[in-house]
Structure 1
Amino acid sequence: MSISNCAEEEDVYPLHECIFIGDVRKLSSLLRNNDVARKDKHGNTALHLAVMLGRKDCIQLLLAHSAPVKVKNLAGWSPLAEAISYGDRQTISSLVRKLKQQAREQMERRRPDLIRALAQVQDFYMELKWDFHSWVPLVSRILPSDVCKIYKSGSGIRLDTTLVDFTDMKWERGDISFIFQGEKPPSESLTVLDNKAKVYQRVRYEETETEIEDEVDILMSSDILAAQMSTKGISFTRAQSGWIFREDRKETVAGLYRSDIYTITGLVLESRKRREHLSTDDLQKNKAIIESLTKGNTQNLDTNGEPTRRASLNPPPDNEIDWASYISSPPGLYPSLGRDLVYKESSRNFRATIAMSDDFPLSVDMLLNVLEVIAPFKHFAKLRQFVAMKLPRGFPVKIDIPILPTVTAKITFQKFDFRSDIASDLFIIPDDFVEDPLRFPDL
């Protein structure tokens, strides 16, 4: 086969072209022998196109064949983001359900390896100190700090923290314990305790229908947001000390761990938002609705006591774009297939430091496993994302990472001990605690 013929084959996307035509029967046949997750030259999957073009039957067929919902195109938008822009409620609900199902399935595939890895490591106790600070004047004075205590026994993990949640410059303090029991079935393995109120909540794997519809209302009523930490241009450089005779900077962290200090450059926090699906009236009234929903309150009720749900938008105007015009466009620069974008983006460069030590007794891989267990806490999920990068040699005993566009966290591993005497009752719900399935609405 000639090189030119190979190039021609690479530009053939039968599922995508079928979506443009809207031929559901042909699509069903093609799905038997074609990769439903394949991206075209613009980074769009077949599901991206089906959503942008409003092909409802094609959308349902693709979801039935496990088309990925979380995947992003070259512009950084997922099929769910495009569905919100299009504004069809049924489609958004279908994608939210499938997204959650796929997340559960991914977790279950990973679970046996995670439990096996935890069980093979000696039991330990570890302390992480979190200090939040901001470049915005005076904000740092009101930001929280926390010392998290982590116990590992067998395939179990317990995290004790005073910081319940930290999002959008709002935080909740308390006395919280998060318990993972690897030997238990998924529906019982994750539990959060409120030690002051003496209540507990199991972290459920499936949401109720009402919770799904509440989430859809929030998505349809708010900006489409995409934020990510870009590490394309990241570099690690040994930090220097001294005025005349420069030398590589070293530090002993927590009085225990001799560390090499690195300066991190090229970290960029990219934030993008779209709001073409929102009317002027929406922008004025939806802030109150979103605040009500995120606090777990029900929306306005109709006369039958049912929540008033947000209705689908009118479809965007039909475009005259055909498959040839779409696929011949330069990568990422295809004509708009839905609503005209109302778009804003911003980016902020971060310069940070990291202390890497060969003295810390835990491996980075084991830390990643622990952080995966406690990832329902959003700031720990961000820490895991950072540690998963290709770091210099050693263990990151002290890190500065961006948590929000204006807030950075300094995390210090200030204590670690291998122990054989960790009490088993740390992983048991106390008898006097009462179950409250709504105590932590975000978990």
Structure 2
Amino acid sequence: MSSANEMEVDETYPLHECVFSGDVRKLSSLLRFYNVTQKDIHGNTALHLAVMLGRKECVQLLLAHGAPVKVKNLAGWSPLAEAISYGDRQTISSLVRKLKQQAREQMEARRPDLIRALINIQDFYMELKWDFHSWVPLVSRVLPSDVCKIYKSGGCIRLDTTLVDFTDMKWERGDISFIFQGEKPPGESLTVLDNKTKVYQRVRYEETETEIEDEVDILMSSDILAAQMSTKSISFAKAQSGWIFREDKKETVAGLYKSDIYTITGLVLESRKRREHLSTDDLQKNKAIIESLTKGNTQNLEANGEPLRRASLNPPPESGVDWITYISAKAGQYPGLGRKLVYKESSRNFRATIAMSDDFPLGVDMLLNVLEVIAPIKHFVKLREFVAMKLPKGFPVRIDIPILPTVTAKITFQKFEFRANIPPSLFIIPSDYNEDPQRFPDL
């Protein structure tokens, strides 16, 4: 007979309890009545537990009912991170597919509002200057700069840039244009042009099976990483000027925008790494493995010419933890359910500045919409995350933000003007450009 405490636990998290016991039939019936997105006191969803405990049938059932994959527990780990740790290839593949499907669905749901917002604002031209710098002197001397030119007409946006990619201290220069055509179907709306070689590539809406499996190989062969900018203790204070008579610092940015200058403190870049799923051999070969996989697996082929895929790991030993022990633990301190963690954590505090102006003609909400459209450009993702924070009054005409642990970017809005005569040809692929689906492999 169940005690009162056990009954209370069962009624609070019935999906989680079903997963713990591996009762697939009961889980199937309960999914009609309970919220598959619910988190328990440790921040785990039922999908987290299904992955950590190796309940493959429960995983598939929860995914079929829309269990979210991009969700983190109190420790900051997603179901996909836990699946990589457990090491079952089929489960990892299923989660990667569902993650991408859910991202597409979210974008499709957001798309009509985004297009409407773009159409409702006057057409404009805007310039953003990027200056990358580092506290490491030799690094700072070789970092790039760039002026991005953005054109907006109706539901269309064009961005011209000379910085093709910026990843892990590597960058590629060129003459690149991103074109977003709001009236086109989702799979055809975003195109990137290489204006030097005169080729174009549509930004892929759905990955091929080979691309999915390549991604799974990379995930299974590399560290589980989680990096985020923590803003829990962030604060904005008006910068001061003057030696004796102190006063709030003001500047005119780009010679146009009268701005209040704020100092930002409490900005922490948190980086966490797990590698319990990697063997000693993996760790020694890790760099070579990843380089091989990111180049399309060409170095690892079976006799029939097919890529040699990473095999599932042997499952971790049964933890022996029962449901009551798990759910009775202090929040975020439950006993381990899978492999023993091999974990490293680091953090770096940043002190930055931001110039806020009431003179800039564009609103922050519209800037966020524009940045959402050009999300495939990686350093713009960081900018959007920053601007989405609760900033002081005005528009952020100049920002210093961390891009990598050793690299900071200064972004300056150096020009903005409403234009009524932006030529439609800017948003059309030139007739003498050829399609090259592999020009930008990361898109």
Shorter-chain-normalised TM-score: which range? Answer: over 0.9
Aligned: 1:239 with 2:236: no
Could you state the TM-score of these two structures normalised by the residue count of structure 2?
Answer: 0.98
2:76 maps to 76
Match of 2:154 in 1: 154
**What secondary structure, in the 3-state scheme, does the structure 2 residue paired with 1:213 have?**
helix
Aligned to 1:98: 98
- Could you list the per-position Cα deviations for residues 223-262 of structure 1 after superposition, in whole angstroms to 9, with x for gaps in the alignment? 0000000001000000000000000000000000000000
1:356 pairs with 2:353: no
- Residue 320 of structure 1 aligns to a residue whose secondary structure is coil
Structure 2 counterpart of 1:394: 394
Residue number in structure 2 paired with 1:264: 264
Shift of 1:412: 0.1
C-alpha distance in 2 between matches for 1:332 and 1:95: 23
1:291 shift after superposition: 1.3
Report if the CA contact (8 A) 2:9-2:327 is conserved.
Answer: no
Q: Quick one: distance in 1 between partners of 2:160 and 2:56?
A: 46
Contact 1:386–1:401 (8 Å) recurs in 2: yes
Cα deviations by residue, 1:325-350 (Å, 9 ceiling, x for unpaired)? 00000000000000000000000000
After superposition, the C-alpha distances for 1:277-320 in whole angstroms (9 at most, x for unaligned) are 00010011121121122234534111100000000000000111
Partner of 1:15: 15
**Which amino acid letter does the alignment assign opposite residue 180 of structure 1?**
F
Which amino acid letter does the alignment assign opposite residue 288 of structure 1? A
Question: What is the alpha-carbon distance in structure 2 between the residues aligned to residue 290 and residue 433 of structure 1?
Answer: 33
- Mapped to 1, the partners of 2:250 and 2:312 lie a distance apart of 59
Matched, 1:332 2:315: no
- What CA deviation, in whole Å up to 9, does each residue of 1:118-153 have, x standing for no partner? 000000000000000011121100111000000000
Q: What is the deviation of 1:102?
A: 0.2
- For residue 58 of structure 2, give the secondary structure of its aligned residue in structure 1: helix
Q: Distance in 2 between matches of 1:371 and 1:104?
A: 17
1:204 aligns with 2:233: no
For the 8 Å contact 1:237–1:262, the answer to whether it is kept is yes
1:226–1:272 Cα contact (<8 Å) kept: yes
How far apart are the structure 2 equivalents of 1:275 and 1:11? Answer: 36
> Aligned partner of 1:363: which letter?
G
**TM-superposed deviation, 1:441:** 1.0
Is residue 297–residue 307 contact of structure 2 (8 Å, CA) maintained in 1? no
Counterpart position of 1:323: 323
- Aligned equivalents of 1:389, 1:306: Cα separation in 2: 46
**CA separation of 1:197/1:71 partners in 2, compared to 1, >3 Å: closer, same or farther?**
same
- Structure 2: give runs of 5+ residues left out of the alignment: none
Look up the equivalent residue of 2:272 and give its one-letter code: R
1:214-253 paired onto structure 2 within 5 Å: 214-253=214-253
Indicate if the aligned counterparts of 1:299 and 1:308 stay in contact, CA closer than 8 A.
no
Cα deviation code 1:104-123 (max 9, x no counterpart): 00000000000000000000
SS across alignment from 1:193: strand
Q: Tell me what 1:425 maps to.
A: 425
- What corresponds to 2:291 in structure 1? 291
Letter in 2 for 1:107: M
Letter in 2 for 1:183: E
1:170 deviates by: 0.8
Residues in 1 aligned to 2:351 and 2:373: alpha-carbon distance in whole angstroms? 29
Equivalent residues of 1:131, 1:409 under 8 A apart = yes
Alignment of 1:304-323 (within 5 A): 304-323=304-323
**Is contact 1:11-1:41 (8 Å) kept?**
no
Shift of 1:205: 1.1
CA distance in 2, matches of 1:160, 1:62: 43
Which digits, 9 at most, give the CA deviation of each residue in 1:15-67, with x for residues without a partner?
00000100000000010000001000000000000000000000000000010
**Contact 2:93 2:216 survives alignment (8 Å):** yes
Shift of 1:11: 7.4
Which residue of 1 is the match for residue 53 of structure 2? 53
**Equivalent residue for 1:179?**
179
Contact 1:289 1:299 in 2 (8 A): no
Cα RMSD over matched residues?
1.3
Q: Distance in 1 between matches of 2:368 and 2:78?
A: 26
Distance in 2 between the 1:320 and 1:194 partners? Answer: 56
Q: Hey, what's the Cα distance between the residues in 2 that align with 1:369 and 1:231? A: 22
Q: Gapped runs of 5+ residues in structure 1?
A: none
Instruction: Answer whether contact 2:191 2:202 (CA < 8 A) is retained.
Output: yes
Sequence identity (%): 86
Shift in alpha-carbon separation, 1:366–1:301, aligned structure 2, 3 A: same
Asked if 1:28 corresponds to 2:28, the answer is yes
Q: Which amino acid aligns with 2:172?
A: E
Secondary structure of the structure 2 residue equivalent to 1:138: helix
Residues 156-203 of structure 1: per-residue CA shift (max 9 Å, x gap): 000000111111111111110000000111111000000111110001
- Give the length in aligned residue pairs: 439
* 2:40 aligned residue: 40
Contact 1:162 1:173 in 2 (8 A): yes
Taking the aligned partners of 1:294 and 1:89, their CA distance within structure 2 comes to 18
